[in-house]
Amino acid sequence: MGQKVLPTGFRLGITEDWRSRWYATKSQFKGILFEDFNIRKFVKSGYKFAGIPKIEIERKGEEVNVLLHSARPGLIIGRKGAEIDKLRGELEGLTGKKVNVNIVEVTKPELDAQLVAESIAEQLEKRASFRRTMKKAIEMAVQGGALGVKIILAGRLAGSEIARSEVQSQGSIPLHTLTAKIDYGFAEAITTYGKIGCKVWIFKGRIKQVKGKSHGANAKASQVS
């Protein structure tokens, strides 16, 4: 049996923070969890062009704060804030609660594993060469300051009769080191031959430590901010 752990879940509270931050009673939990799922699904499907790798949700009473990390924040904000007002109204209609939408710009999209995975999947859907696409993504991440990159593609690559997996990596990926800042992303390319899964790991450095203890989820990596 494969002993596989999601890198983000493995590092919660150390280098990663929770994507949903709220408290609910046992009777409320299911409804709020489903509400979070619908918010993420709506934003990812409706604003895929904006390059949104992460959506964080905080709740205070009946107020919902949605934090969008985006590589193209201008597309979400729109002219004079028209688009973000529209998004806020749609989310309020979806949840029936007051919603605040804030945007954080992703300054280095080549170092965000989720954006890299989605970019590779998009190129595969356009019938680009999978080996060339993987190699280019790795080169761009390393040039951006990554200490290690690993990409795995699985499926009917190049339309082959039998599904297989292809791995390309460069540098080190210390998955078992909790102080290592490992970013992980997954995306699927829907091609005429079927789905191709894309997994990306990016090693950004180790978090700074004080007296043998890390700063926690908000600690900064020693190599890449």
Residue 9: inside a domain = no
**Which DSSP string do the residues of 66-94 spell out, in sequence order?**
EEEEES-HHHHH-GGGHHHHHHHHHHHHH
CATH of the domain at 89: 3.30.300.20
Q: Are residues 121 and 200 in the same domain?
A: yes
Report helix, strand or coil for 53.
Answer: coil
Residue 34: inside a domain = yes
Question: Contact at 8 Å (CB) between 63 and 91?
Answer: no
Domain that holds residue 96: 17-105
Q: Are residues 57 and 87 in the same domain?
A: yes
- What's the pLDDT at 216? 52
| Rounded CA separation 109/54 (Å) | 12
Question: Contact at 8 Å (CB) between 203 and 217?
Answer: no
- What's the pLDDT at 214? 45
How many whole angstroms from its chain centre is CA 129? 24
- What's the pLDDT at 225? 46
Q: Give the strand pairing for 148-155 and 164-171.
A: antiparallel
Domain end marker among 75, 105, 135: 105
Instruction: Name the pTM for this structure.
Output: 0.87
Residue 114: inside a domain = yes
Q: Are residues 123 and 205 in the same domain?
A: yes
Residue 3: inside a domain = no
Q: How far is CA 18 from CA 37, 55, 56, in A?
A: 14, 11, 8
- What's the pLDDT at 209? 55
State the 10-residue block means of pLDDT for the chain, 225 residues long. 78 90 93 95 92 94 93 90 92 93 93 96 94 96 96 94 95 92 95 95 82 49 49
